[in-house]
Amino acid sequence: MEQQLKALQTEALQKIEAADNLKDLNDIRVAYLGKKGPVTEILKGMGKLSAEERPKMGALGNEVRGAIASSIEAKQTVLEQAEIQKQLENETIDVTLPGRSVKTGCQHPLTRVVEEIEDLFISMGYTVAEGPEVEKDYYNFEALNLPKGHPARDMQDSFYITEDILMRTHTSPVQARTMEKHKGQGPVKIICPGKVYRRDNDDATHSHQFTQIEGLVIDENISMGDLKGTLEVFAKKMFGEDREIRLRPSFFPFTEPSVEVDVSCMFCGGEGCNICKGTGWIEILGAGMVHPNVLEMAGFDSKKYTGFAFGMGPERIAMLKYGIDDIRHFYTNDVRFLKQFSVHQ
């Protein structure tokens, strides 16, 4: 029995030594130290021993169990340490590796120009007004001195939804709505940025959906001089301090007199080039003094109040500012185009 117990101890210690993971070690613990393990089995034969031998064998049995248990415990510590070490090695961060750069987006060039124009007018005391893109014929045309059947409606081919509702063809209906809200009381000083829709054929300078920014000022004693001064500040701010503007007579049913506003060519400085078609001037917007009929329809006394209004296409402004040759670049979202306007290239 003594030999059996010692052989068992040797065998168990060898297996413990060979175990290279905690699961195998636990299996050895269950196999050798469990209630029905071999030490217990061997000690069952103690009944056949003399009274003298029995306590000796009992003590030896405990000794073998103790040796196996402490060997398992020691090995467990070693294996646990190894496991922690392995985990630490796997989680090691190499701080010398180059970082991964985060790709940031950038503001769309059109948004940038719209916000720049907004900021300029806000700094001159204007507030920003908005209106619906699906608009009533009344605000888009009638309240702007364009009754049904007026030939000037052909200037803006429209997408009609019903006979009285259409996609707005310009941002001027926001003028009409704002004036109506003011109930004949000045002053009014707003700009209205927003999307507009026209049945124009798409080409390098036209789109069926584009952006406009409208400006409207109504107060006592507002004159054409105020309009010209305001637009001069705008042109210099957008295109450079050397720029000049000129007004050419034009026609809009909602303004009288009406003008087209040109800026001196920013590409040739006014000398004449292929962009300004040799004239030295580039058209940037339409404007005029608010027609008395429009003031009266919105409830303003046209003898007391006068006003000016203007409307521009920020796509065309951005094209001139950044030398963009096709309006469709704004809408196709080609990353190669957009990336050129990133501040973190």
* Chain positions contacting ligand FA5, by CB under 6 A: 156, 170, 172, 198, 200, 206-207, 210, 212, 214, 252, 255, 285-288, 309-313, 315-316, 327
Q: Specify the amino acid at residue 345.
A: Q
Q: How far is the CB of 265 from ligand FA5 (least distance, A)?
A: 16
Specify the residue, 41 or 202, whose C-beta has the smaller distance to ligand FA5.
Answer: 202
Distance of alpha carbon 62 from alpha carbon 40, whole angstroms: 10
Nearer to ligand FA5, 105 or 323 (CB): 323
Whose Cβ is closer to ligand FA5: residue 15's or residue 198's?
Answer: 198
Q: From the CB of 93, what's the least distance to ligand FA5, in Å?
A: 53
Dihedral of CA atoms 206, 131, 154, 264 in degrees, nearest 10, equals -50
Q: Shortest approach of ligand FA5 to residue 155 CB, angstroms? A: 6
At closest approach, how far in Å is the CB of 100 from ligand FA5? 41
Residue 345 C-beta: closest distance to ligand FA5, Å: 28
Cα separation values, 17 from 21, 24, 344, Å: 11, 11, 60
Task: Please state whether beta strands 188-197 and 255-264 pair in parallel, antiparallel, or not at all (unpaired).
Answer: unpaired
Residue placing its CB nearer to ligand FA5 in the complex, 32 or 315: 315
Q: Which is nearer to ligand FA5, 71 or 140 (CB)?
A: 140
Of the pair 86, 199, the CB lying nearest ligand FA5 is at 199
What is the residue type of 202?
Answer: D
Q: How far is the CB of 336 from ligand FA5 (least distance, A)?
A: 22
- Show contacts of 117-121: CB within 8 Å, 24+ apart: 117/191, 117/193, 117/213, 117/234, 117/238, 117/312, 117/314, 117/317, 118/191, 118/193, 118/213, 120/233, 120/234, 120/237, 120/238, 121/191, 121/215, 121/234
Pairing status of strand 255-264 against strand 281-290:
antiparallel
Please report how close the Cβ of residue 262 comes to ligand FA5 at its closest, in angstroms: 11
- Phi and psi at residue 310, to the nearest 5°: -150, 155
Nearest distance from C-beta of residue 158 to ligand FA5, angstroms = 12
Map tokens 């045309």 to a residue. 141
Q: Are 307 and 217 in contact (CB under 8 A)?
A: yes
* For ligand FA5, the closer CB: 38 or 314: 314
Residue 336 has phi, psi (to 5 degrees) of: -65, -30
Q: How many angstroms separate the most distant Cα atoms in the chain? A: 135
Nearer to ligand FA5, 137 or 315 (CB): 315
Is it true that the peptide bond before 173 is cis, omega within 30 degrees of 0? no
Q: How many residues does the chain have?
A: 345
Q: How far is the CB of 159 from ligand FA5 (least distance, A)?
A: 12
Q: List the structure tokens of 344.
A: 């973190």
